[in-house]
Each structure stands twice: as structure tokens, then as C-alpha cells.
Amino acid sequence: NAGVMQNPRHLVRRRGQEARLRCSPMKGHSHVYWYRQLPEEGLKFMVYLQKENIIDESGMPKERFSAEFPKEGPSILRIQQVVRGDSAAYFCASSPGMGGLQPQHFGDGTRLSIL
């Protein structure tokens, strides 16, 4: 029973390039959440998605960042024209979404480094 799968584990980009981070939720989970963790800090909520719907993007910067969770395939967090400040660990979590508050289980994260 595979857990939340994220790839790549490490991603290096130069300033101005695009970064694409992928997340496949646990089997049977239909809700996906993205969080960002700066070094030595806590996790900050970015966006909450269900299949083909963005439910809450209140934590995501308005510019350069976008997220999707298509009907088929993984959820994608996309960062355009990356800057040094985007360097962080990006974690994806998933939950069953069966109604009521369900535990969120995290993937191993993608560590993004901007040169």
C-alpha cells in the first residue's frame, strides 16, 4: 500500500527557469494539500485541491505559482520564473476526503534549490 509519492526528491533550477513538482496521493485519497517548509521553519499551507478543483489557494503566492490536480494523473505544483527565495522543501499531503476532518499523510517532499 504505497504512501504519498512525490517526485523528484531533489530539483535544482537556475533563476528564471520553471519548476514542476509532482504528487500522487495515497490510494483511495481524493484530497491533496501542498505545504512549503523553509530551512529550520515550520510548514506553511499553500493550496488544497480535489480532483479538477482548487478548493483553497489562500496560501499560494498570486504570481508565478499554480497548482492542478487533473482527473487523471498526479497533482502538479508549478513555479514559473523561479527566484532564490523559492528554495525550500515542498511537501504534499493527502487525505481520504470522506467527510469530516481526516488525517493528512505526507510524502517525502521535493527539495528545490535555486542557483
Partner 1 sequence: GENVEQHPSTLSVQEGDSAVIKCTYSDSASNYFPWYKQELGKRPQLIIDIRSNVGEKKDQRIAVTLNKTAKHFSLHITETQPEDSAVYFCAASKEDTDKLIFGTGTRLQVFP
Q: Which is nearer to partner 1, 48 or 69 (CB)?
A: 48
Of positions 24, 75, 94, 104, contacts partner 1 by CB under 8 A: 104
By CB under 8 A, tell whether 109 contacts partner 1: yes
Q: Which is nearer to partner 1, 35 or 65 (CB)?
A: 35
In whole angstroms, how close is the CB of 76 to partner 1 at the nearest point? 19
Residues 38-57, mask of contacts with partner 1 (x by CB under 8 A): ---xxxxx--x------xx-
- Partners of 7 in the beta sheet? 22
- 3-class DSSP state of 45: strand
Q: Report CA Rg, the chain.
A: 13
Distance between first and last Cα of the chain: 36
Q: Which residues contact 84 (CB under 8 A, 6 or more apart)?
A: 15, 114
Task: Report the C-alpha gap between 103 and 41 in whole angstroms.
Answer: 22
Q: Which spans of this chain sit near partner 1 (rule: CB under 8 A)?
A: 31, 33, 35, 41-45, 48, 55-56, 58-59, 91, 93, 95, 100-101, 103-109
